[in-house]
Amino acid sequence: MTVQIGDSIPSASLGVMTPDGPSTLTTDEIFAGKRVVLFAVPGAFTPTCSDRHLPGFLENAAAIRRRGVDTLACLAVNDVFVMSAWGEATGAAGTLQMLADGNGDLARALGLEADFTQFGMGHRSRRYAAIVDDGVVRWLGVETAPGVRESSADAALAALDALGPRG
């Protein structure tokens, strides 16, 4: 079943790159007590993800943070090394938290896993964005067709404006 507004983010461990090398963060560490805008892409370095989805959040990061967002995070079913390299290559490192869902555990737990085996990519995440307050999903924009509309930075900004301050 796909996660719904009002649901809690399930427990999972995600890979992150630190100055000391690869590490993990739990979803509790990422979401507890914070307002997080999370967006997920099918794959790092893929055309739509690199050319449209991630750049929109990078360009709007300051505006998103001004709306009371503590963390702006990008998630993909890739390993921590790929997510780190993608963050460096796009200039997102230091602005976006690059989260590696290496085995797709969180994508599967959220019901947002996608089968890209026909493209040689295996099982990945669907393209989506979410606003999560203290671990609870307050808004969710999931793409149902190719492109970036429902999960765009503009859609997240509009949702943040509609939700108002965390509380």
**Active-site amino acid positions:** 49
Cα(15)–Cα(138) distance, rounded to whole angstroms? 24
Beta-strand ranges (E) seen in 19-127 are 21-26, 35-41, 71-76, 97-100, 113-115, 123-125
Element (H, E) at 131: strand 128-133
Please say whether the beta carbons of 121 and 78 come within 8 A.
no
Please say whether the beta carbons of 31 and 25 come within 8 A.
no
**Rg, Å, the chain Cα set:** 14
